[in-house]
Homo-oligomer: A and B are copies of this chain.
Amino acid sequence: MSARRDRVVEVMRAGQDAFGRALEECDGGGRFTPHRWSRPGGGGGEARILEDGRVFERAGVNVSAVYGDEAPASIAAEHGVDPAVGFFATGLSTVVHPRNPHVPSFHANFRYFEMGDQAWWFGGGADLTPAYGYAEDAAHFHRTLKDYCDGYGPAFYPEAKTACDEYFYLPHRRETRGVGGIFFDGLRPDGPDGWDRGLRLAARGIETLAAAYLPIVRRRTDQPYGDRERQWQLYRRGRYVEFNLVYDRGTRFGLQTGGNIEAILMSLPPLASWAFDVQPEPGTPEAEMRDNFLTPRDWASPAR
């Protein structure tokens, strides 16, 4: 239904405008540059990139809306629809890699998929990837997301929090990508107003991003750092690259299906390092990060 499609794309675009403006304001210098692309099969998108800002070394906010006459066979079969009903998919995704190693990286994605009138669902999530662990930052992030989730229902946050911990995990390193957040997919609220509730959830989620992330940026961005902290940040960013290229479903799906490469790989950090068998000294902030921030924890609960 075209009216639905228009409404959900409108939400994504408004979110792209608003979150991009909030990032620019927070950066106090950097500006987003738009890059439009179109998909040969139908649709396209606009990636907006800020590079070499004062606060953000690189940030991207991308919106895409693609469609086609033939739905992917496996997804159609899973939902019991004829692939010939076609498909429509739209999403907003954002990745932020700050310059100061004390400011965490941030990622969020909200998306909508439909095949004909009957099969549709929403998905979304946001997660935080610090190089240095601060419990109060993780708590602020999770509590803000929990408040948002609780507006939908009491079971939502615990489920989406666990799904995030499970998704953003590097089995080969036996560690999470960061301190998690929320992740949900295939969400299809019941009832005659189910679709509208789904859209509202997506819209509110996008509105929540600035409140979840930017207070942390402002709190940390003037914190002093030197070469040691920069080196550790670059090393931790290597893990970010490993996760995105080895495990991330969106990235791998995009690479395999000939999506817009630059928009897909805007998630990668501007600079990352690898070194052999790095073992932080016990008692250092780097060891604290490795030991206490890379396994799932209930960050939203008040500390004892």
Instruction: Confirm or deny: A225 has a beta carbon within 8 angstroms of a beta carbon on chain B.
Output: no
Q: Is A51 touching B275 in the complex (CB atoms < 8 A)?
A: yes
Q: Give the most central of A35, A60, A262: most B CB within 10 Å.
A: A262
A234 CB contacts on chain B under 8 angstroms: 271
A35 CB contacts on chain B under 8 angstroms: 276-277
Which of the candidate stretches A142-150, A208-216, A240-248 sits at the interface with the other chain? A240-248
A276: which of B51, B242, B245, B246 is its contact (CB, 8 Å)?
A: B51
Q: Give the most central of A60, A245, A272: most B CB within 10 Å.
A: A272
Q: How far is the CA of A47 from the CA of B276 in the complex (A)?
A: 10
Q: Is A271 touching B270 in the complex (CB atoms < 8 A)?
A: no
Q: How far is the CA of A258 from the CA of B170 in the complex (A)?
A: 12
Q: How far is the CA of A271 from the CA of B262 in the complex (A)?
A: 20
- Chain B residue nearest in CB terms to A252: B246
Instruction: Confirm or deny: A38 has a beta carbon within 8 angstroms of a beta carbon on chain B.
Output: no
Chain A contact residues: helix, strand, loop or mixed: mixed
Q: Is A172 touching B255 in the complex (CB atoms < 8 A)?
A: yes
Tell me, rounded to whole Å, the shortest Cβ–Cβ distance linking A270 to chain B: 6
- Chain B residue nearest in CB terms to A276: B49
Q: How far is the CA of A49 from the CA of B258 in the complex (A)?
A: 37
Q: How far is the CA of A173 from the CA of B264 in the complex (A)?
A: 12
Q: Is B262 touching A277 in the complex (CB atoms < 8 A)?
A: yes
A271: which of B47, B261, B271 is its contact (CB, 8 Å)?
A: B271
Q: Is A261 touching B51 in the complex (CB atoms < 8 A)?
A: no
Q: How far is the CA of A246 from the CA of B277 in the complex (A)?
A: 22
A58 CB contacts on chain B under 8 angstroms: 276
Q: How large is the interface on A (under 10, 10 to 19, 20 to 34, 35 or more residues)?
A: 20 to 34
Tell me, rounded to whole Å, the shortest Cβ–Cβ distance linking A247 to chain B: 9
A125 CB contacts on chain B under 8 angstroms: none
Instruction: Confirm or deny: A14 has a beta carbon within 8 angstroms of a beta carbon on chain B.
Output: no
A171 CB contacts on chain B under 8 angstroms: 255
- Chain B residue nearest in CB terms to A273: B271
Tell me, rounded to whole Å, the shortest Cβ–Cβ distance linking A161 to chain B: 26
Starting from the known contacts A58-B276, A242-B245, 9 additional A-B residue pairs (CB-CB under 8 Å) come to A35-B277, A51-B275, A51-B276, A241-B272, A262-B276, A262-B277, A265-B274, A266-B276, A272-B273
The 10 lowest CB-CB distance pairs between A and B, nearest first, are A245-B245, A268-B274, A172-B255, A49-B276, A262-B277, A271-B273, A245-B246, A172-B261, A262-B276, A272-B272
